[in-house]
């Protein structure tokens, strides 16, 4: 059951369903090596970058109220989670791509932890 929920969540964020398609153009304000959350759709406004695994992103308003996310990592993909400590729904985000809108997903205003994976 849990595996099915994760699969459905992943499909939703990869462009099947309610989210904006993943982008391939860089979000200019997201520093190299970071994954960035934005308080607005389309990666507009201030970037809230993080560079490592985080068990609790709720202390950062940009993550707690995120409406778009971009992975500008140098060599890793990243999982974004809807709960602290890598719990809840898990969404994979390849490096060099992002979600212009996460509205309707479990991480909309709830991107509460992240973990890098698939590093090259």
90: CATH: 2.60.20.10
How many Å apart are CA 31 and CA 88, to the nearest integer?
27
Tell me if 29 sits within 8 A of 43, measured CB to CB.
Answer: yes
Residue 85 domain boundaries:
2-117
The pLDDT-based confidence of 47 (bands split at 50, 70, 90) is very high
pTM > 0.85: no
The pLDDT-based confidence of 13 (bands split at 50, 70, 90) is low
Give the pLDDT confidence of 49-87 residue by residue, as tens digits: 999 999 999 999 999 999 999 999 999 999 999 999 999
Q: How many domains does the chain have?
A: 1
Contacts of 102 (CB under 8 A, 6+ apart): 13, 19, 66, 67, 68, 69, 108, 111
Q: What DSSP state is assigned to residue 84?
A: G
């Amino acid at each position: 059951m849990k595996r099915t929920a994760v699969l459905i969540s992943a499909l939703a964020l990869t462009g099947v369903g309610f989210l904006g398609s993943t982008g391939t153009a860089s979000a200019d304000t997201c520093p190299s090596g970071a994954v960035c959350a934005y308080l607005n759709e389309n990666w507009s406004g201030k970037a809230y970058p993080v560079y490592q695994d985080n068990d609790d992103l709720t202390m950062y308003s940009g993550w707690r109220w995120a409406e778009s996310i971009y992975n500008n990592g140098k060599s890793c993909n990243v999982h974004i989670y809807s709960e602290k400590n890598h719990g809840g729904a898990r969404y994979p985000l390849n490096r060099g791509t992002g979600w212009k809108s996460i509205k309707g997903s479990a991480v909309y205003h709830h991107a509460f932890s992240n973990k890098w994976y698939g590093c090259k």
